[in-house]
Amino acid sequence: MARGELTPQEQEYKKRISSKLLKLQKQRNYKQIDIVRGSGIPASTLNGYLKGIALPTEKNLEKLASFF
């Protein structure tokens, strides 16, 4: 079942999360595969977060926070 349109607030969250993840990745000199292996999030899912096209689930946000 499709979720529907994202609210403007959710659209902004996608941009902010993407920006923050890219900044953390660069600061720590990580490759995407490092984040995938360390967080357990699938590469395609992580790629969507990094590109700002997907909004992470609460569970995946927790995984990313623990990893970083």
Q: Which CATH class is domain 8-67?
A: mainly alpha
Q: What is the tens place of the pLDDT at every residue in 3-26?
A: 678 899 999 999 999 999 999 999
Q: In Å, what is the CA distance from 49 to each residue of 20, 30?
A: 10, 15
Backbone angles phi, psi at 52, to 5 degrees: 75, 25
Can you give the pLDDT at residue 1?
41
Mean pLDDT of the chain: 94
33-64 pLDDT per residue, tens: 999 999 999 999 999 999 999 999 999 999 99
For the chain, give every domain's residue range.
8-67
